[in-house]
Amino acid sequence: MTIPATDATTIQLIDVENAHVARNYAPLPVVVARAEGAWVTDVEGKRYLDLLSAYSAVNFGHRHPALVAAATEQLGRVTLTSRAFHNDQLGPFADALAALCGKDLVLPMNTGAEAVETGIKVARAWAYRVKGVAADTAEIVVAGGNFHGRTTTIVGFSDDPQAREGFGPFAPGFVTVPFGDAAAIDAAITPATAAVLIEPIQGEAGVIVPPDGYLRAVREICDRHGVLMIADEIQSGLGRVGTTFACDREGVVPDVYLLGKALGGGIVPLSAVVADEAVLGVLRPGEHGSTFGGNPLACAVGRQVVDMLASGEFQTRAAALGEHLATRLDSLIGHGVTAVRTAGLWAGVDIDPAVGTGREVAERLLGRGVLVKDTHGQTVRIAPPLVVRATELDWAVEQLRVVLAG
Ligand SMILES: Cc1ncc(COP(=O)(O)O)c(C=O)c1O
């Protein structure tokens, strides 16, 4: 049951939304009107510490001044040209992002799901045109518990009933193996395999960190079989885990990076597929595209994002604050928490069912000025903006301690 909102403006705005917006989400009863840094303010003027960061799309904090400046400057020039013409922002953005990833080429899209769909198309085209797989037989190995977005192809290879039931029939060509089990990937690969597609750390599943050495093993298996390693870093990438990419934690470079969320600085949707010429070069004009993909506004913001990541400052901050947060969250184990998983400034906190569900804990935290989101029933996911202060994290964990104590 959702706790009722009490303020008249809040109630009215939630009612209007419920009356006219499809109910594909069940938001917590807070109506955000403004935000800055790690804090949001609702229509009643109440402030909340944001520990979700729009699922890591707001890694740099709300309205980071350098990102707002880049967007504002570009708004005064040109915002959309389509790819029918060149624009003066796409090239410099792609150049900077390719350098950050150590790759040759960037294919810009908008949402994460589009980047994943694009990665699937590129892998299949590579399999047919480079590897020599027979037409329309290519397979992609994916991991159980995955979350790669909401399109019909993508939910077709999800094993979450809520994501897929009622939406079939689904596209063939995907083989699922358990996450974290490299030997299972090895066994699943056939001569028709184009790629292995994994999240280096599974976010939606509850911040599931695979065993040490898993990513290195996947890299070795892909190399041995001549199969592309595709890393979906849409949620795990761009500073969140204390390194630029979650793959960096094991010193692994995938063949294809899928990026999104924080790439748009929390201002515009911006995603990208990043790979070398030998892979992304398989696409020919007219085979793939997007009206908004590569638009100058998004590229101007994206270039600023890449600039901010290039200094390493946000990664270092995420690593240090992540350790700080992990120590404090670990102290809750046995006090309403059954397990904590962390990677940089990202945590999955499993709530003891005796205390309540993840949703109930999120609702009680809302009442104490902290925004979090539950996932898969008993887990609360914590992903603060990387600009958050250690003292703010301490305060938030204290609120969680109080909530758990009932
Ligand atoms: C790992 C991963 N891939 C893809 C997506 C889909 O991104 P979008 O919601 O922008 O389509 C998400 C979104 O949560 C994600 O976490």
Distance of alpha carbon 62 from its chain centroid, rounded? 16
State pLDDT tens for residues 145-164: 999 999 999 999 999 999 99
For residue 25 the two structure tokens come to 């989400």
Burial of 215 (0-12, 13-18, 19+ CB in 10 A): buried
Residue 406 is assigned to a structural domain of this protein: no
**Three-state DSSP string of the chain:** CCCCCCCHHHHHHHHHHHHHCCCCCCCCCCCEEEEEECEEEECCCCEEEECCHHHHCCCCCECCHHHHHHHHHHHCCCCCCCCCCCCCCHHHHHHHHHHHHCCCEEEEECCHHHHHHHHHHHHHHHHHHHHCCCCCCCEEEEECCCCCCCCHHHHHCCCCHHHHCCCCCCCCCEEEECCCCHHHHHHHCCCCEEEEEECCCECCCCCECCCCCHHHHHHHHHHHHCCEEEEECCCCCCCCCCCCCHHHHHCCCCCEEEECHHHHCCCCCCEEEEECHHHHCCCCCCCCCCCCCCCHHHHHHHHHHHHHHHCCHHHHHHHHHHHHHHHHHHCCECCCEEEEEECCCCEEEEECCCCCCHHHHHHHHHHCCEECEEECCCEEEECCCCCCCHHHHHHHHHHHHHHHCC
Q: Ligand 1 in contact with 392 (CB < 6 A)?
A: no
CATH number at residue 286: 3.40.640.10
Give domain status of residue 333, yes or no. no
Which residue has a Cα nearest atom 16 of ligand 1?
235
Query: Looking at ligand 1, which residue's alpha carbon is closest to its atom 7?
Result: 112
Whether residue 147 has its Cβ less than 6 Å from ligand 1: yes
118: left (phi over 0), alpha (psi -120 to 50) or beta: alpha
The answer on pLDDT for 5 being more than 70 is no
Q: Could you give the CA distance from residue 57 to residue 236 in angstroms, rounded to a whole number?
A: 10
Our count of domains for the chain comes to: 1
User: Among residues of the chain, what percentage have pLDDT more than 90?
Assistant: 98
For residue 114, what pLDDT band results from cuts at 50, 70 and 90? very high
Question: Is 361 a domain residue?
Answer: no
Residues with catalytic function: 147, 232, 261
Q: What is the mean pLDDT of residues 48-65?
A: 98
Residue 406 pLDDT = 87
**Mean pLDDT, residues 81-88:** 98
Angstrom CA distances, 250 to 214, 258, 405, stand at 9, 18, 38
- Establish if 200 belongs to a structural domain: yes
Give the Cα-Cα-Cα angle 175, 180, 182 (nearest 5 degrees): 70
Length of the chain: 406
Cis previous bond, 169, omega within 30: yes
Q: Which atom from ligand 1 is nearest to the alpha carbon of 235?
A: 16
Strand ordering across the sheet containing 32-36: 32-36, 39-42, 47-50, 370-371
113 Cα: distance to centroid of ligand 1 (angstroms): 6
In a domain, 139, yes or no: yes
Residue nearest to atom 10 of ligand 1 (CA): 112
274 pLDDT tier (thresholds 50, 70, 90): very high
Residue 220 lies in a domain: yes
pLDDT digit string, tens, across residues 219-270: 999 999 999 999 999 999 999 999 999 999 999 999 999 999 999 999 999 9
What spacing in Å lies between the alpha carbon of 259 and ligand 1's midpoint? 9
Token look-up 């939910």 returns 155
What is the atom index within ligand 1 of the atom nearest the CA of 111?
10
Contact assessment for residue 318 and residue 240, using Cβ atoms and an 8 Å cutoff:
yes
pLDDT tens-digit map of 57-81: 999 999 999 999 999 999 999 999 9
Smallest CA separation from ligand 1 atom 2, residue: 148
- Domain for residue 16, yes or no? no
Phi and psi angles of residue 139, each rounded to the nearest 5 degrees, phi first: -120, 150
Average pLDDT on 276-292 reads 98
Ligand 1 pocket mutation pick from 120, 142, 147, 381 by most atoms within 8 angstroms of CB:
147
The pLDDT value given to residue 216? 98
Q: Is 370 within the bounds of a domain?
A: no
**Tokens linked to 3:** 């706790």
pLDDT of residue 4: 60
Query: Domain limits at 100?
Result: 82-310
What pLDDT score was predicted for residue 1?
44
| Residue 321 predicted with pLDDT over 90 | yes
Distance 188 CA to ligand 1 centre (A): 25
Q: Which residues face 197 on adjacent strands?
A: 142, 230
Residue nearest to atom 4 of ligand 1 (CA): 148
**Cβ atoms of residues 297 and 79 within 8 Å:** yes
pLDDT tops 90 at residue 396: yes
* Mean pLDDT of the residues in the chain: 97
CA-angle at 113, arms to 107 and 118, nearest 5°: 35
How far CA 78 is from CA of 81, 113, 124, 296, 372, in Å, comes to 8, 26, 35, 7, 36
